[in-house]
Every structure is written in C-alpha cells, then in structure tokens.
Amino acid sequence: MPTTLIPTKAVAALLRKELRTRFPGVRFSVRCSTGTAAAWINVHHEDGPTSAQVDEICGKYEGRSFDGMTDTYTDHGTTLVAGEAGEMPTEVRYCCDGINTARDFTAAGNLAAQRIIRERSNMPHLILCDDAGVLVEGRDITDGEGCEFNDGHHAWDRPQLSAWSAVRFLLQHVDLTTAPARR
C-alpha cells in the first residue's frame, strides 16, 4: 500500500477543521512555524476546551514528537485514514514534527475562576478580578504565610499566588466551551 505524505501546511488545515468541528464557536489560531521550525505547528485558543482536550486532538496529527530528555525525535509512523464508504483506507504520514498548544483566558474565563473560588474554595474571600473580569494586578492574593490555595479538588502549596496564576491553576481542568461568545 503506498503511503501518502501530508505536508505540514496541509496538516494545519486538517487540524484547524477538526478543532472547529469538535469545538464549534471557539476560535483557534493554527499557524505553521517558519525557518528551522517549519515542520512545527502552533495552536492557540482562549477559554474554550481544556489544554488536555486540545492536546489529545493535536497528538493525532504529529508525525514525530520531540523528547527533551534525550534531545531526539520519536517517529509516530503512518496512520490509516478512512475515505468514502466502500473504499479502502489510505495510509498517510503526517509531516509535522510537533504541535505546541497554548490556552489563555479572557474576562469571561477570569470570572469563571472567581465563581469557582466562591463556590468550591477553602478561601472564598479571595478576589481574583473585578466585576468586568479584569485581574487584580501587582500583588499576591494570598497572605504568604504558608497558606494552601485549594479549589476543592487540587491544591496549590505555594506561599504566594498571583491572580494570573490562580486563574490558570483553577481553570486548567475546566472546559469553558459554554462561556459567553467573544467578539
């Protein structure tokens, strides 16, 4: 069976299409890198699904992945892709060396984190953001006296915690695909 090579740019298009299908209404930026990293793809989104959900989809499109411990690439081989009904699957090799993902949070995400603190935290008095979702800046939100910040399921054992860190800690496992639409 002949193998079809899918170049990085085409992999980015396939990935973009699947992300839009799986998470309608969430805006994703899917960009190919340039220069020596031209076989890499960068995926960015705000709020929406968790990083783990996005990473699971992206992992299917990596032809290779980088192992920082050994400073080498691991080849993922070929993949069988189903075509039309009644046709044999096609063997493809994704020519993508890796996919980096990043998730940021908008004011709606910040407000969701504040709700989690009020409803599930052992520190409901903490204020992460104002009513418009603007983060508290320039100071630690904890007292720095060895307190443990806890969302009811996971704990942050750092003595200081910024509002920015708290939002990321609280929302790392929270799917915000139901958050209000962004402009």
pLDDT by residue for the chain (183 residues), tens only, comes to 689 999 999 999 999 999 999 999 999 999 999 998 999 999 999 999 999 999 999 999 999 988 889 999 999 999 888 878 888 888 999 999 999 999 999 999 999 988 888 887 767 777 888 899 998 876 667 655 555 666 666 676 665 677 888 888 888 888 998 644 443
Range of the structural domain that residue 112 is part of: 107-171
**Quick check: is 180 in a domain?**
no
For 139-152, what is each residue's pLDDT tens digit? Answer: 667 655 555 666 66
pLDDT given for residue 152 in this prediction? 63
pLDDT given for residue 158 in this prediction? 61
DSSP string, 126-156: ---B-TT-PBP-SS-SS-SSS--EE-SS-EE
β strands within the chain, DSSP E: 3-6, 28-32, 40-46, 64-67, 72-75, 79-81, 90-94, 98-104, 149-150, 155-156
pLDDT given for residue 127 in this prediction? 83
Please give the tally of structural domains in the chain. 2
11 and 93 belong to one structural domain: yes
15 and 90 belong to one structural domain: yes
143 and 74 belong to one structural domain: no
**Quick check: is 85 in a domain?**
yes
142 and 66 belong to one structural domain: no
User: How far is it, in rounded angstroms, from Cα 5 to Cα 87?
Assistant: 19
112 and 97 belong to one structural domain: no
pLDDT given for residue 182 in this prediction? 42
**Quick check: is 77 in a domain?**
yes
pLDDT given for residue 177 in this prediction? 85
**Quick check: is 146 in a domain?**
yes
128 and 70 belong to one structural domain: no
39 and 99 belong to one structural domain: yes
Scored b (16 or more CB within 10 A) or e, 100-121 reads ebebebbbbbbbbbbebbeeeb
**Quick check: is 73 in a domain?**
yes
